């Protein structure tokens, strides 16, 4: 009887929390598909034939790029799923607490969690690999077109299937282990109250703000003053690490400082639209700050990746012409050199597009989860405010005030990072032979505009979802 009960409870839990689990499962399937595509392209180097030579230097470059891409996707998928799964676990703890109060022991709770994890893993692999096979056909066609190579026969890569299965089995096993340990550390009563437990803001904000500002200004100074392309390549990753650390420090500490400053302004704070949202933000800003910093960093990565790889690909002809003059290449050499250039730059551009879509998808999903889960946490506060006279319009204004702060901070910071990174990225582009500055700036501006449009669309979707939750729950 128990063996049938646990899968049924797990399925009921998935259905009841469909608003949270459907985006999560779709994101898992999408990432499995992305990993299959890149792993499949990496395991089929005969696709990238350069002038009839399967083992030419152009082929080796594309294969190396795809192998690197599969590693990046695997690591990023693990980190992202651990991050999003924490939202699900936080939301489900109250439900598991109820089961515990009704008499289920920790072993039974672990069994329910096991079946949920097994169902999620099965859907991810079946749907993800199915979609990945379809997507790989399109991806193969696009990649070969980017490389200027003829169409090739399509086949399913069993090596890529094996890599995806092993990777996601390991990830879901770790997620299950983390969930079991989390449940075992809390009692039933504590689980029931888990959603109402907030995080305290950090106490010594200025001790974090000052080094954060120093790191950020130092990274900006490095990016703005470097004039040597080789030096820019060597210091690029140093500047990136400095910006990442500075972003986390400033978002965690600076956001708390900003909220507290606004709370001291009585005219601003004691308005119906600001009081609830600002109190909620301040109470949980330590966690919010880390999440917003992650969104900002992902956004910056997307913008820099698209701008640089697109500039390499579309500026390849100019680079080849300039290098041909400098190195006195003969006409007989140009065909093979051009094929090898486009093999490398086309492979990088393809990988840049795929990873950018993956990072963009993750960024938007993080924003969605962040606000939906916190909408459930804030619902009780808004319910109390409605009982004392807060109207639907007041709730909408309060939600918009909170959403604008949460959405504009990462987008504005990402645009600022991108602007200061341009001199250094341009120096690196010159190292690869790119000389068309207007092309580089135009591609960067186009990437920023498209990203901002998608970001604003997610703002509208998330704002509506948050408003629906806080205005209907317990009303």
pLDDT tens digit sequence for 328-371: 777 777 777 777 777 778 777 887 887 788 777 777 777 777 77
What is the tens place of the pLDDT at every residue in 82-104? Answer: 877 877 777 777 777 767 666 67
Q: Which of 3-12, 278-287, 380-389, 399-408 has the lowest mean pLDDT?
A: 278-287
Q: Is the pLDDT of residue 194 over 70?
A: no
pLDDT in the model for residue 217: 93
- The percentage of residues in the chain with a pLDDT greater than 70, rounded to a whole number, is 75
Q: Is the pLDDT of residue 430 over 80?
A: yes
Q: Which one has a higher pLDDT value, 51 or 210? A: 210
Residue 446: pLDDT band (50, 70, 90) is: very high
What is the tens place of the pLDDT at every residue in 206-223? Answer: 677 788 889 999 999 998
- The percentage of residues in the chain with a pLDDT greater than 90, rounded to a whole number, is 11
Residue 186: pLDDT band (50, 70, 90) is: low
Q: pTM to 2 decimals?
A: 0.72
pLDDT in the model for residue 122: 93
Q: How high does pLDDT run on average in the chain?
A: 77
What is the tens place of the pLDDT at every residue in 226-278? Answer: 888 878 878 888 888 899 888 888 887 776 777 777 667 666 666 655 666 66
pLDDT in the model for residue 198: 47
For range 38-49, the mean pLDDT: 69
Q: Is the pLDDT of residue 202 over 50?
A: no
Tokens of 113: 């969690």
Residue 323: pLDDT band (50, 70, 90) is: confident
């Amino acid at each position: 009887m128990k063996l049938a009960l646990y899968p049924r409870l797990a399925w009921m839990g998935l259905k009841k929390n469909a608003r949270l689990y459907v985006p999560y499962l779709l994101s898992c399937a999408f990432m499995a598909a992305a990993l299959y595509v890149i792993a499949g392209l990496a395991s089929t180097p005969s696709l990238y034939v350069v002038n009839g030579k399967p083992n030419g230097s152009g082929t080796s470059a594309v294969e190396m790029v795809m192998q690197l891409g599969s590693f990046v996707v695997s690591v990023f998928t693990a980190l992202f799923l651990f991050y999003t799964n924490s939202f699900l676990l936080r939301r489900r703890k109250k439900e598991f607490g109820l089961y515990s109060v009704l008499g289920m022991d920790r072993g039974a709770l672990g069994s329910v969690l096991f079946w949920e994890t097994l169902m999620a893993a099965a859907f991810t692999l079946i749907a993800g690999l199915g979609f990945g096979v379809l997507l790989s056909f399109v991806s193969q066609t696009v990649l070969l077109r980017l490389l200027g190579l003829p169409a090739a026969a399509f086949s399913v890569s069993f090596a890529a299937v094996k890599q995806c299965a092993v990777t996601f089995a390991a990830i879901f096993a770790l997620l299950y282990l983390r969930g079991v340990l989390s449940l075992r550390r809390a009692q039933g009563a504590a689980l029931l109250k888990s959603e109402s437990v907030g995080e305290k803001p950090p106490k010594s904000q200025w001790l974090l703000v000052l080094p954060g500002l120093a790191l950020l200004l130092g990274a900006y100074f490095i990016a703005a003053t470097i004039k040597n392309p080789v030096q820019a390549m060597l210091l690029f990753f140093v500047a990136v690490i400095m910006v990442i650390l500075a972003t986390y420090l400033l978002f965690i500490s600076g956001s708390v400082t900003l909220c507290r400053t606004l709370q001291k302004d009585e005219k601003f704070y004691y308005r119906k639209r600001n009081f609830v949202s600002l109190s909620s933000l301040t109470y949980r800003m330590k966690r919010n700050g880390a999440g917003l910093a992650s969104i900002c960093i992902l956004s910056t990565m997307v913008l820099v990746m698209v701008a640089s790889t697109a500039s390499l690909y579309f500026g390849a002809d100019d680079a080849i012409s300039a290098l041909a003059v400098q190195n006195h290449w003969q006409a007989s050499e140009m065909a093979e050199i051009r094929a090898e250039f486009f093999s490398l730059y086309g492979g990088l551009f393809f990988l840049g597009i795929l990873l950018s879509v993956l990072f963009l998808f993750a960024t938007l999903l993080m924003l969605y989860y962040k606000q939906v889960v916190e909408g459930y946490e804030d619902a009780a506060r808004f319910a109390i405010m409605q009982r004392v006279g807060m109207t639907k319009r007041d709730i909408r204004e309060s939600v918009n005030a909170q959403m604008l702060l949460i959405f504009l901070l990462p987008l504005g910071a990402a645009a600022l990072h991108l602007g200061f990174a341009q001199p250094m990225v341009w120096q690196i582009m010159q190292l690869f032979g790119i000389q068309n500055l207007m092309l580089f700036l135009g591609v960067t501006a186009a990437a920023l505009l498209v990203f901002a449009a998608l970001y604003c669309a997610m703002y509208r979707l998330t704002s509506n979802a948050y408003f629906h939750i806080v205005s209907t729950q317990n009303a």
